[in-house]
Amino acid sequence: MPNPSRRVFLGAAPAGVAWAQGAASRPGPNDRVNLAVVGIRGRGKDHIRNFAKIPHARVDTLCDVDERLWPEAAELAEQATGQRPRFQGDLRRVLDDKSIDAVSLALPNHWHALACVWACQAGKDVYLEKPGSHNLWEGRKTVEAANKYNRIVQIGTQYRSRPGIRAAMDFLHAGKLGKLYMVRAVVFRPRERLERRAEAPAPNGVAYDLWLGPAPWRPFNPGRFHYNWHWFWDTGNGETGNNGPHAMDLARWALHKYEHPARIQSMGGLDGWDSFQETPNSQISVLEYAGGERVQLEVRNLYTNAEDGVGEGLFFYGSEGWMRTNYGSWATFFGRKHEPGPAGAPEPRPLPEPHFENFLHAVRTRNRDLLHARIEEGHLTSAMCHLANIAYRTRRTLVFQSDREEFPGDAEANSYLRRRYRYPYVMPDPV
């Protein structure tokens, strides 16, 4: 059972009730944006470094349920900004803070959508790490919240802001490969076997009930905690939902698809060894649109070769030729003999990354149309990963109705579209 004293400490009332009554002040084009970074262990450190380098951003507050991480993050932020940040252990207290203009969310997947919706209700703009949701239904809620509260919400598919990738997309959209009919994406990232661990008390300084948030209650297990939450269905979406969104996003962008796939297949398994994780370590998914275009995603977490030198990246296939990209460069080939065509050389990864700058520019101008990856894009991309995982879990080909966002007449598949939320961490409906 949950620790009752911690439940009292965190408060029993659902967050967000009073937030919708008013919005935080909106930064103007000459104002500094006061930011809170929520989630500071992994990708959150990149958020701190990036925002610290943007002149009109101020990293004011860092938030994490694990207080053991605070000293290192404080040192990192102070070195990057020259100022010592404030700290908070509870996201809800950050959202209560009227001085915070925007939140940058680098939380576990099961928290992404709920934190985003709460932030929109509180009048905060949001930089949201991918995937934008833990399940498809709550992804739609993030879109509804951003629109209802007129918030700037950028999804963290940062390759959309890389000049080289944008040049490759311009090439594809100009029809220079002919008609695109298929995109193949690979995520080959070898990982080690996850050792089985025994349940144990949560470490001192970890607000475990708050970390679980909307996920079902289960005793603390160190094998399910930092980063390893990716490999359990309650909190993560496997590698398909971890690094898969970057690939799925570029595939959908290249194909100009602004609806969901109509037919989905996925197969795989936990191959090679006995591991503690639930999600597959190898998975092949095929998603077909109503127009016949197909996206393939192959995930391999075991030791493996690259494909044509690409360990993580995409292959785009058109009627006249094909393109490969490993996110850092791209090249094209034409005809039966694969004659080399235009290419893009590798480019440095600057700090700050242009995706963070793009977000801040949209925040300061109050123009959502300037965003390179609006939350609507994030929802469609994240949904591709969710649909692939549902097909994997049901072990059969699925038919999806895009406008209704459901599997017609398929109760089993539809049961994976949303989750039961654990009070008080409940996704509101309506938002």
CATH code, domain with 339: 3.30.360.10
Residues 175 and 304 in one domain: yes
| Confidence tier at 62 by pLDDT (50, 70, 90) | very high
Whether residues 132 and 191 share a domain: the answer is no
The pLDDT score that the predictor gives to residue 193 is 94
116 shares its domain with 41: yes
β-pair type (153-155, 125-128): parallel
Assess whether pLDDT exceeds 70 at residue 106: yes
The CATH number of whichever domain residue 90 belongs to comes to 3.40.50.720
Backbone conformation region of residue 145, classed left if phi is above 0, alpha if psi is from -120 to 50, else beta: alpha
Average pLDDT over residues 49-57: 95
Percentage of the residues of the chain whose pLDDT score is greater than 90: 90
b/e map 30-40, b = 16+ CB within 10 Å:
eeebbbbbbbb
Note whether 327 and 262 are same-domain residues: yes
Q: Which two tokens stand for residue 332?
A: 């094209």
Structure tokens that stand for 41 in this block: 């262990």
Q: Out of 18-22, 25-29, 57-61, 282-286, pick the least confident.
A: 18-22
CB atoms within 10 A of CB 133: 33
- Other CB atoms within 10 A of residue 429 CB: 13
The string of pLDDT tens digits covering residues 346-361 is 988 899 999 999 999 9
Using one digit for the tens of pLDDT, what is the confidence trace for 368-406? Answer: 999 999 999 999 999 999 999 999 999 999 999 999 999
Residue 228 lies in a domain: no
Give me the residues paired with residue 313 across strands: 186
Write down the pTM of the prediction. Answer: 0.94
State pLDDT tens for residues 149-173.
999 999 999 999 999 999 999 999 9
Together in a domain, 264 and 136: no
pLDDT on residue 3:
36
Same domain, 61 and 72: yes
Give residue-wise pLDDT tens across range 10-44: 333 344 444 544 444 567 666 899 999 999 999 99
Strand duo 321-325 + 125-128: pairing: unpaired
Q: Please choose, from the candidates 358, 304, 341, 360, the residue with its C-alpha nearest in 3D space to the C-alpha of residue 125.
A: 360
Calculate the average pLDDT of the chain.
Answer: 93
What is the SS3 assignment for 331?
strand
Q: Does residue 208 fall inside a structural domain?
A: no
Please indicate, yes or no, whether residues 172 and 117 belong to a single structural domain of this protein.
Answer: no
Whether residues 140 and 286 share a domain: the answer is: no
Asked if residue 399 and residue 312 are part of one domain, the reply reads: yes
Both tokens of 176, joined, read 């220079």
Measure the CA–CA gap between 417 and 383, rounded to whole angstroms.
Answer: 10
Q: Are residues 246 and 191 in the same domain?
A: yes
Mark whether 188 and 298 lie in a shared domain. yes
